[in-house]
Amino acid sequence: MSSIPSFDLKRNYERVRQEVRDAVDKVLESQHFVLGPEVKAFEDEFASYLGVPHAVGCASGSDALLLALMAIGVGPGDEVITTPFTFFASTSCISRLGARAVYVDVDMDTYNMRMDMVMDAVTPRTKAVLPVHIFGQMCPLEEIASELKDRGIALVEDCAQSFGAVRRVDGNLMRGGAVGDVSCFSFFPTKNLGCYGDGGLVASADPEMDKRLRSLRVHGSSATYFHDEVGLNSRLDEIQAAILRVRLRHAEQWNEERRAIAERYRLLFAAHDLLEFVTPPVELEGNRHVFHQYVVRAKDRDELQRFLAQRGITTRVYYPLSLHLQPCFRYLGYKEGDFPASEALTRQVLALPMFPELTPEEQETVVLAMKDFYRR
């Protein structure tokens, strides 16, 4: 029986092994491990890739979100509008600062937060809006960006899953992470741009924000042993930065490969008459989706997942419980039925194998197994 993983980092490592080893060797020879030349060079290269002036490396995507909200000044009494259909860290950063998450529901086709619902959720306490470009596709931020600016509400982009995503509006190119006041990236190994441990980054256009972020990541200190405020210890290390510099040079190519795989899945579903059972992800007009995950809506999802597992095919459920129903967020006062789209998705979504090195034969095996399930 074939075995098809949901992702395979080893196959990816094969493609960059020597470059990575040389880069890591250089750091080992230098014996400079924390906030040195590799971090500085990576921050500059990342900022130039993104087209924003400032980028600050930190210890993880979760910390990037926390640092961004701290830099904006989010605290007790504030509200942050966000999506309930995402990874835990997109809301935990709000709670950790004593602020309140205010959810708006998501779109059933793109799984992204509904931009048309955001302004209705604004109150005098709204300090920030935190959209997540889920699974690799940008939210149409142009629908809210200028209104938020007029009202003095910060726009924080969670780009953990969307490295390389782009959106074209009226001929203008918007890169995910270059639209909001501040944007947060994760370099967790499975991400589209991943390192070989934990890592994250916060990008911003404002030099004052950049200064604050740089201080916050080293215990709120701008001069050694003098502390203006209580920050975090959240730094990107030299080895991870050196690895990221290598991988940044290849990430566009890998994103193109992900896009080709997504297109092949779509054609295979159509060719095998599966579209009455399986709804592929929708790419909005003008968007360059980078398919961090390839997430379909599937009829009889749980049975399908078990059937595929018996055939050696690993799939994942992102996410099985909407955040407004998580026990730790019960204090927010939401209940079942409050966000019907998010709740429906938790019962329908299935992430199929997706990584740049997935072969056409493996994709065919996945889709034929799905056909066997639905036509059984």
Ligand X SMILES: Cc1ncc(COP(=O)(O)O)c(C=O)c1O
Q: What is the β-pairing status of strands 226-227 and 294-298? A: unpaired
* Cβ at position 240, least distance to ligand X in Å: 11
Question: Which of 59-67, 100-108, 143-151, 340-348 is the region at the interface with ligand X (rule: CB under 6 A)?
Answer: 59-67
Q: For ligand X, give the closer residue by CB, 258 or 371.
A: 258
Considering the rule CB under 6 A, would residue 132 count as an interface residue with ligand X?
Answer: yes
Between residues 60 and 279, which has the closer beta carbon with respect to ligand X?
60
Whose CB is nearest to ligand X? 61
191 is catalytic: yes
- Told to check if 138 binds ligand X by CB under 6 A, we report no
Size of site (CB under 6 A) for ligand X: 15
Q: String of b and e for 185-210 (b: at least 16 CB within 10 Å)? A: bbbbbebbbbbbebbbbbbbbeeebb
- Binding pattern to ligand X, positions 167-206, x when CB under 6 A? -------------------x-x---------x-x------
49 binds ligand X (CB under 6 A): no
Footprint on residues 276-295 left by ligand X (CB under 6 A): none
Interacting span for ligand X (CB under 6 A) from 86-94, 106-114, 171-179, 303-311: 86-94
Comparison of 141 and 274: residue with beta carbon closer to ligand X: 141
For ligand X, the closer CB: 158 or 362: 158
Catalytic pick among 10, 26, 127, 191: 191
Active site residues: 191
Query: Which residues of this protein are in contact with ligand X, per CB under 6 A?
Result: 60-62, 86-87, 89-90, 132, 158, 160-161, 186, 188, 198, 200
